Amino acid sequence: MKMTTYVNFPGKCKEAFQFYEKHLGAKILTMMTFDQMPDPKMAPPGMEKNILHARIMIGDTPLMASDGPKAEPMRSAYLTLSVESNEEAERIYAELTEGGEVFMKMGETFFAHRFGQFRDKFGVNWMIIHEKPMQRPA
């Protein structure tokens, strides 16, 4: 079994994926508009050029999305990026927080060299972490 996250970006999917591709070194694998369906007449009126389905690889993890209906974000769910350096954590945090809302400023914690939580300008909750080695339970 494999679990993949699917996010709705009402009218902003293409912009969001291009932003993540640029700032996270991600790779867009699929981006299909409603009018590219086998029967384009099935596209909801006015949605023909909106994204029906998209897939991006962020590191080795896929993220799927669409220009689906506007909905309240799931406030308890975060996409979490584990990075290898403080510099990478700081860079990603700076780029993705622009225009967003910071919940916890990037900084050192007992469990991480760098850790921060925020919602980006597309409404997605993120955690960025450069973990410290932790002791294994006895």
Could you tell me the domains of the chain? Answer: 5-66 (3.30.720.100), 79-131 (3.30.720.110)
pLDDT of amino acid 109: 95
pLDDT of amino acid 69: 78
pLDDT of amino acid 125: 95
User: Which residues of the chain are modeled with pLDDT < 70?
Assistant: 73
**What is the distance between the alpha carbons of residues 68 and 121, in angstroms, rounded to a whole number?**
17
pLDDT of amino acid 72: 75
pTM: 0.88
Name every residue whose Cβ is closer than 8 Å to that of residue 118 and which is 6 or more positions away in sequence. 93, 96, 97, 100, 101, 102, 103, 104, 125, 126
pLDDT of amino acid 54: 98
pLDDT of amino acid 68: 83
pLDDT of amino acid 1: 86
